[in-house]
A and B are shown apart, each in its own frame.
Chain A
Amino acid sequence: MSYIKAENLSKEYGAGESSVTAVSNASFEIETGEFVAIMGESGSGKSTLLSMVGTLNSPTAGRLSVKGLDVYRLGQDERADFRRQSVGFVFQNFNLLSYLTLVENVMLPLATLKASRREKQLMAYNALERVGLAEKIKRLPGQISGGEQERVAIARAIVNKPPILLADEPTGNLDTRTGRLIMEFLRSLNDEGVTIVMVTHSMEYSHFARRVLHMSDGMLVQ
């Protein structure tokens, strides 16, 4: 059985004649531990598809199941629980909170966890150490480089060890060298068994994935 299975996923924004179809009848399967890249030009619907896989964006049609569970049949709170337990997000703009230190940013997903402050700090420290930022944990996001911010975003996504990592253009704002380092890190995570779905428009970085899905005008193409 596939780990993630999308069946005819569609997403339309608006209604009537002014409606815009962002994703149309997307069907695919992703196995446990796969590293899949979704490629396509800007506006092709790849970020919308990723947000639907991440249960952030309800499809207007179709079905998405994860480990056989139809996630869009869950209530809002159950879906939030699913995200908290199973999905880590890496956003294109990092989305770090500027007023929190790096360690505090990484601890955010643990805020609802019933654990001591010390345990949470240790988990966040370990995640930051994994991305090579253990020495900068007290800094604010504005005090580090873009590549480092991306690494903090990844640390935040993996701090509670989710089995699925969704990354939306993780290298979009980075130079080639830093982008490559990030991709190598994602690859190492995948080697450890984390299922990764990444949106990118870069052919170069798509080679780090084991499989590439191409999108054009909201549809998956071979």
Chain B
Amino acid sequence: MTLRDIAVNNLRRRKMRAVFVLAGLLIGVTTVVTLLTLVGAMKNDINHKLEMYGANILIVPKTENLSLSYGGLSLGGVSFEMQEIREEELEKIKDIKNAANVAAVGPMVLGPVNVKDQRVLLAGIDVLSFQTLRPWWNIKGKIPEDDDVILGAEAARMLGLANGSKFTMNGREYGVSGVLEVTGSQDDGLIFAPLTIAQSVLGKEGRISMAEVAALCHGCPIDEMIRQISEVLPGANVMGIQQVVKGRMVTLNHFQKFSYGVSALVLFVGSLMVLVTMMGSVRERTMEIGIFRAMGFRRSHVMRIIFYEAGIIAGVAGILGYTLGFTATRILLPFFTESHQGHGVAVPFDPIMAGIAFVLAISIGLAASIYPALLASRLDPNEALRAL
């Protein structure tokens, strides 16, 4: 027989009270786990989508000219009178503080070429990084190698070229390795060639017109990354393409704050349930506590019995609360995100969240039991026994 045995025996004897305390904590912990896991999963969902968006930072040369284009409609030839960045400058991006968050850097050189007597914009790209930067590209054919190019859907139509066709550009023959499906963007009107080929054709060896950067935003501040890149590339304009995501993140942050508020409220109500139930339990056991004190139990011994009881129930509430919250999140998540039907955001077992749930349950269970435990320990043994 130990103090813990006394607590366990009492829990067995007063099952309904134990169930009340358990319910109070369980509701609180389950709510917290559900909301926090849900918010976390929704953030993951947004981050996942963000990565699917491809490039989210644009690096262009600094210029004093205003762009004379709007909505893809170019007004005059200003677009072609662009300044350039030295390709080797991009290496500096690897040295920024958040370099680990950079998924891909895609240099691009742009320039007009004549193909079949038509003036077309040639884009030289790093083919591999563009698979990350343009995840939505569907190429009918293969990615270009050596002297191959791929054509935007509109460019292929205008030039009358198809997959496997040959054509001459600046006096040299190139093959079409693939044609892009319609993207609905300005990519449709471009010819894409490997960077070095395009630089050679355009006579811009070692220079690029712009660069796109895909930054994985899971926990990385895009604004901060833009600032860091601007610092290492003082001659370039670095811009973020993030308005949509930002808007969604702001909404999610509001939801997160709301979740914290609801969690705090539910936890408070749960702790009140624990407090009231434990107080009732102490009052019900006045005689028993009097006997303990008469036998020589210190006040701390009596408090420990109460804390053991609360701790045992709280531990169970922590484990069950996490399990229930985790299950509830899996059920609810499809209603809060668009990424279901096979592309769902995974809700993996999170040992940190499980630990938080456990510690939270124990902390609240014990904190709510402090007053009842003090009340029990202060019972005058003689008064308790006289009350018989």
What's the nearest-Cβ distance from chain B to residue A58, in Å? 8
- Complex interface: chain A residues within 8 A of B294 (CB): 54, 56, 83, 89, 91
A60 to B228: give the CA distance in the assembly, Å: 78
Whether A93 lies near B388 (C-beta < 8 A) is yes
- Complex interface: chain B residues within 8 A of A56 (CB): 293-294, 381-382, 385
A112 to B5: give the CA distance in the assembly, Å: 11
- Complex interface: chain B residues within 8 A of A85 (CB): 296
A104 to B10: give the CA distance in the assembly, Å: 13
Cross-chain contact of A108 among B295, B298, B381, B388 (Cβ < 8 A): B295
- Complex interface: chain B residues within 8 A of A80 (CB): 293, 296-299, 301
| Stretch in contact with the other chain, from A26-34, A95-103, A171-179, A181-189 | A95-103
- Complex interface: chain B residues within 8 A of A77 (CB): 298-300
A104-B296 in contact given A56-B385, A95-B291 (Cβ < 8 Å): no
Whether A108 lies near B296 (C-beta < 8 A) is no
Most chain A CB within a 10 A radius of its CB, from B292, B294, B296, B382: B296
Residue A81 CB within 8 A of the other chain: yes
Whether A112 lies near B3 (C-beta < 8 A) is yes
* A15-67, CB < 8 A from B: 51, 54, 56-57
Whether A95 lies near B301 (C-beta < 8 A) is no
A97-B291 in contact given A51-B382, A56-B381, A104-B9 (Cβ < 8 Å): yes
Residue B2 CB within 8 A of the other chain: yes
Cross-chain contact of B296 among A57, A83, A99 (Cβ < 8 A): A83
Residue A165 CB within 8 A of the other chain: no
Residue-wise, chain A 81-124 has the 8 Å CB interface mask toward B (1 for contact) of 11111010101010101011000100111111000010010001
A83 to B291: give the CA distance in the assembly, Å: 12
Smallest CB-CB separation from B292: which chain A residue? A108
Residue-wise, chain B 261-298 has the 8 Å CB interface mask toward A (1 for contact) of 00000000000000000000000000110011111111
Interface residue range, chain B: 20 to 34
A76 to B293: give the CA distance in the assembly, Å: 10
Residue B244 CB within 8 A of the other chain: no
- Complex interface: chain B residues within 8 A of A100 (CB): 9
- Complex interface: chain B residues within 8 A of A99 (CB): 9, 12-13
Whether A109 lies near B9 (C-beta < 8 A) is no
Cross-chain contact of A81 among B6, B12, B288, B298 (Cβ < 8 A): B298
Residue-wise, chain B 360-388 has the 8 Å CB interface mask toward A (1 for contact) of 00000000000000000000011001001
SS of B interface (majority): helix
Smallest CB-CB separation from B285: which chain A residue? A97
A77 to B378: give the CA distance in the assembly, Å: 11
A91 to B387: give the CA distance in the assembly, Å: 13
- Complex interface: chain A residues within 8 A of B2 (CB): 111, 117
Residue B352 CB within 8 A of the other chain: no
What's the nearest-Cβ distance from chain A to residue B378, in Å? 9
A100 to B6: give the CA distance in the assembly, Å: 9
* B285-319, CB < 8 A from A: 287-288, 291-301
Residue-wise, chain B 6-37 has the 8 Å CB interface mask toward A (1 for contact) of 10010011000000000000000000000000
Residue B1 CB within 8 A of the other chain: yes
- Complex interface: chain A residues within 8 A of B299 (CB): 76-77, 80
Whether B298 lies near A111 (C-beta < 8 A) is no
- Complex interface: chain A residues within 8 A of B12 (CB): 99
Whether B292 lies near A84 (C-beta < 8 A) is no
Most chain B CB within a 10 A radius of its CB, from A82, A100, A117, A120: A100
- 19 A-B residue pairings within 8 Å (CB atoms): A51-B385, A56-B294, A77-B300, A80-B297, A83-B295, A95-B291, A95-B388, A104-B1, A107-B1, A108-B6, A108-B295, A110-B1, A111-B1, A111-B2, A111-B297, A112-B296, A117-B2, A120-B1, A124-B1
**Chain A to chain B: the 5 pairs with minimum beta-carbon distance, closest first:** A84-B296, A107-B1, A83-B296, A57-B382, A56-B382
